[in-house]
Amino acid sequence: RQLRRNGGGGADGDDSLYPIAVLIDELRNEDVQLRLNSIKKLSTIALALGVERTRTELLPFLTDTIYDEDEVLLALAEQLGNFTMLVGGPEYVHCLLPPLESLATVEETVVRDKAVESLRKISQEHSPVDLEVHFEPLVKRLASGDWFTSRTSACGLFSVCYPRVSSTVKAEIRQHFRTLCSDDTPMVRRAAASKLGEFAKVLELDYVKSDIISLFTALASDEQDSVRLLAVEACVSIATLLPQEDLESLVMPTLRQAAEDKSWRVRYMVADKFSETFVSLQMYLCFNCIHSVLTIWLSDLCLLCPVSEQELVSDTNQHVKSALASVIMGLSTILGKDNTIEHLLPLFLAQLKDECPEVRLNIISNLDCVNEVIGIRQLSQSLLPAIVELAEDAKWRVRLAIIEYMPLLAGQLGVEFFDEKLNTLCMAWLIDHVYAIREAATCNLMKLVEKFGAEWAQNTIVPKVLGMANDPNYLHRMTTLFCINALSEACGQDITTKQMLPVVLKMSNDQVANVRFNVAKSLQKIGPVLDSNALQTEVKPVLEKLATDTDMDVKYFAQEAISGKHFTLINVNKLKMAIIKSEMHFNLLVFTVLVLA
């Protein structure tokens, strides 16, 4: 608005300075890189020309010279989306349509998508009248274009103009969308299917029922699985739009059919969207529907993972299963206790025996959902073998992931079950050959002690940890020190002083320098937990001895420990714990990403 006023007021008079020809020469430079640079600064050029000449000279030039490198066109398509002010504000925004229309028909997907994005953006700046006079005809032209590219682009534009046009035009738009849904080329049908949900959202409910459902059904039974799976994706949004009494008859048959599709890609999509769909359906769905869908899935799953013949499980369904495993646990909260036991439990149990560690892990990592509903006891007998197997998996990332869940499992299974079945595992991890596992195992012990208390630690963990101090492998001896570092605070002064400290002090005579300097580090760490008497009479002499060690690292860490940092140690300790925790969290994230990838 302001720009236009200035333009009209004659403040725009830089014509002599910047004749259009010079500027256009820049946009036409032979060197692609220079041309690209100029296009990227198109707003500067437009500003120099003023709104009037941008409209009458620059835009026609841009519309005519659409044959260029895709990279240049991409930059142009992006620029034009932000050009409203430079052509004189919303009143003139329709001037931008011709160049964007050409860009929306080019072959390169990236350019086309950007052009559609810009068109969607500027459609909001059109007045309702301009939308009908200028924008909607453009959509129609694209929708009936010769080549598939323009029709593909049209699919993305229906939903932005539909809500703001008159009912006659609305009817036309619906007709165009219908036509594109049954287009000759699968590319266009895919584009239409992917916009189906979005378009359904702006339609009146009656038309959702009459138009969208039939399109949805048709696309979901397309001859190409790439189209069918996109229709499944739309199911989520469609389901939210419909009243409860219509869901069973309008959506469920198609969904059921997709769940049984002969293409794994479609089944995968259903599995992937399963809980999302359920969340949108659950409010309205009667239990019958859930039952029937679940029965299908149950049979699908049984078919997919024949428990007795693990060899049979092939690549194909692994994808489906992994996706399913990651969502299925969330269903228990929706289904309630009885249904979970009746329908989901067999699934969980089957999946716990799956040959693919990712599937099992997906189930175990989501145990808390089930725990809330039915209690973990129901599962514990089946869980155990799965956990043991994962704990010994050849991939260390899998082992790491299961360690992460140990505190959670321990909390849910209770101390007796843990002592009986899982304790050995936790101790075995301490001597894993991968450092990350040993480190995580150490941290795990700390969390367990926090959960079960110092007394439990004294009886079950501490003796075993301290026993490792005499291990011939120095790495295991160091693990003792790391465990002491982690456990001292949770175990308290008594245990630390009476049981741990003597072991640490004894290890100061270890022949491996790495052990000795870790003794120094440990002493520094557990210092705050000890009483001052022990510090003075026992710790100090040892550290002083280490400070004269032949190894320079031992010396360094001993001096670090001596140099009076005991007072700040508590904070440092906490900080380190926080760091360890966040690292663990990060590891978990990395693992999740890996599994998903």
Partner 1 sequence: SSASAPFSVPSAEKVDGFPRRSMRRARQRRSHSSSQFRYQSSQVELTPLPLLKDAPVAELHDLFCKKLQQCCVLFDFLDCVADLKGKEIKRAALNELVESVATSRGVLIEPLYPEAIKMISVNIFRTLPPSENPEFDPEEDEPTLEASWPHLQLVYEFFLRFLESPDFQPSMAKRYVDQKFVLQLLELFDSEDPREREYLKTILHRVYGKLLGLRAYIRKQINNIFLRFIYETEHFNGVAELLEILGSIINGFALPLKAEHKQFLVRVLIPLHTAKSLSIFHAQLAYCVVQFMEKDATVTEYIIRGLLKYWPKTCTQKEVMFLGEIEEILDVIEPSQFIRVQEPLFKQIAACISSPHFQVAERALYFWNNEYILSLIEENCQVILPLVFATLYRVSKEHWNQTIVSLIYNVLKTFMEMNSKLFDDLTASYKVEKQKELKRDRERADLWRGLEEHQDRRMQMLTEAARNQRNLQERGERGDPPSPSSPQTSHSDQPELKPSGASSSSSGGGESAT
- Strand ranges in 403-448 using DSSP code E only, listed in sequence order: none
Which listed residue (179, 282, 316, 514) binds partner 1 by CB under 8 A? 316
Q: How far is the CB of 186 from partner 1 (least distance, A)?
A: 6
Q: How far is the CB of 457 from partner 1 (least distance, A)?
A: 43
Which listed residue (52, 57, 69, 450) binds partner 1 by CB under 8 A? 69
Closer to partner 1 by Cβ: residue 86 or 542: 86
Render 255-270 in DSSP notation, one character per residue.
HHHHHT-SSHHHHHHH
Do the beta carbons of residue 142 and residue 101 sit within 8 Å? yes
**226 counts as binding partner 1 under rule CB under 8 A:** yes
**394 counts as binding partner 1 under rule CB under 8 A:** no
- Torsion on CA atoms 439, 441, 445, 446, rounded to nearest 10: 30
Render 126-195 in DSSP notation, one character per residue.
S-HHHIIIIIHHHHHHHHT-SSHHHHHHHHTTHHHHGGGS-HHHHHHHHHHHHHHHT-SSHHHHHHHHHH
Question: How many residues interact with partner 1 (rule CB under 8 A)?
Answer: 56
What is the spatial distance between Cα 89 and Cα 82, in angstroms, rounded to a whole number?
11
What is the spatial distance between Cα 377 and Cα 21, in angstroms, rounded to a whole number?
81
Closer to partner 1 by Cβ: residue 17 or 472: 17
Burial code (b: 16+ CB inside 10 Å, e: under 16) for 397-416 equals bbbbbbbbbbbbbbbbbebe
Closer to partner 1 by Cβ: residue 181 or 304: 304
Any residues with CB less than 8 A from the CB of 293 and at least 6 apart, and which? 252, 255, 256, 259
Q: How far is the CB of 375 from partner 1 (least distance, A)?
A: 33
**187 counts as binding partner 1 under rule CB under 8 A:** yes
Q: How far is the CB of 50 from partner 1 (least distance, A)?
A: 10
* Residues of this chain, 137-156, that bind partner 1 according to CB under 8 A: 147-148
Which listed residue (190, 360, 447, 516) binds partner 1 by CB under 8 A? 190
**85 counts as binding partner 1 under rule CB under 8 A:** yes
Residue carrying structure tokens 């009248």: 129
**265 counts as binding partner 1 under rule CB under 8 A:** yes
Closer to partner 1 by Cβ: residue 206 or 315: 315
Residue carrying structure tokens 């510090």: 535
**108 counts as binding partner 1 under rule CB under 8 A:** yes
**65 counts as binding partner 1 under rule CB under 8 A:** no
Which listed residue (16, 167, 168, 314) binds partner 1 by CB under 8 A? 314
For residue 442, give the nearest of 392, 401, 484, 495 by alpha carbon: 484
Amino acid at 13: G
Measured CA angle at 571 (ends 570, 576), to 5 deg: 100
What is the spatial distance between Cα 102 and Cα 385, in angstroms, rounded to a whole number?
62
**34 counts as binding partner 1 under rule CB under 8 A:** yes
Of 135-143, 163-171, 299-307, 535-543, the segment contacting partner 1 by CB under 8 A is: 299-307
Closer to partner 1 by Cβ: residue 45 or 324: 45
Of 72-80, 161-169, 315-323, 544-552, the segment contacting partner 1 by CB under 8 A is: 315-323
Residue carrying structure tokens 């397309």: 222
**572 counts as binding partner 1 under rule CB under 8 A:** no
* Residues of this chain, 41-60, that bind partner 1 according to CB under 8 A: 41, 43-45, 47-48
For residue 199, give the nearest of 167, 237, 172, 230 by alpha carbon: 237
**295 counts as binding partner 1 under rule CB under 8 A:** no
Which listed residue (186, 411, 414, 492) binds partner 1 by CB under 8 A? 186
Q: How far is the CB of 166 from partner 1 (least distance, A)?
A: 20
Do the beta carbons of residue 318 and residue 348 sit within 8 Å? no
Side-chain half-sphere exposure of 503, counting CA atoms within 13 A:
28
**414 counts as binding partner 1 under rule CB under 8 A:** no
User: Which residues of the shown chain bind partner 1 in the complex (CB under 8 A)?
Assistant: 1-3, 6, 11, 14, 17-18, 22, 26, 30, 34, 41, 43-45, 47-48, 69, 82, 84-85, 89-90, 107-109, 124-125, 147-148, 185-187, 190, 223, 225-226, 262-265, 303-304, 306, 309, 311-319, 597
